[in-house]
Chain A
């Protein structure tokens, strides 16, 4: 069965303390992996798409990487405004265009 697992479920960081969020997947026929940010009471906001192992994408303090089994979202010197839930999702080859999401990592950055 296709599975997407994110860890940790929650992460508390001090402002400026860099860390990484993990998204591991056991799926067949991966077409793409997506990272989203979700703030409380809002819809997921698109961050990155990664299509092949070795690919990296960057945006401000965030950097996403992809291997054959997992993806990492690295957060460098986070600020309180980076606090949110980060979701990863996979697009499978046999599922039309439907995303399968992980459970998310709730990030809290304290000043």
Chain B
């Protein structure tokens, strides 16, 4: 059973397009996250979200927006894609704000041409 899943696995698109990446977790967690891993493999938090609070890393452009239809899903919408958005995007989840471990999905490889 996949704990945290993402679709699509690969996404190739043109500059200026709008795209979405979907994330689902079946761990019963109440907090989900989006991370970006750049070409140097550095992993950076973008958002932390539960049903009460959205925390945004201040460096994230407002072209990026998380949308959560329910506790098990957190989708990432990206408007007006730019070349610099090319990266691997990881979804993760954890239980609450207890400081427990976060569990990651397999990643979505985005290439903007």
Contact = CB atoms under 8 A, between A and B. Distances in A.
A103 B41 contact: yes
A76 to B, nearest CB: 23
Contacts of A36: 104
A45 B107 CA distance: 12
A100 B59 CA distance: 13
B55 A96 contact: yes
Q: How large is the interface on B (under 10, 10 to 19, 20 to 34, 35 or more residues)?
A: 20 to 34
Contacts of B48: 96-98
Nearest to A104: B41
A39 to B, nearest CB: 10
Contacts of B105: 43
B31 interface: yes
A84 to B, nearest CB: 12
Contacts of A43: 4, 90, 92, 104-107
Interface of B: 4, 31, 33, 40-45, 48, 53, 55, 57, 90, 92, 94, 96-97, 99-107
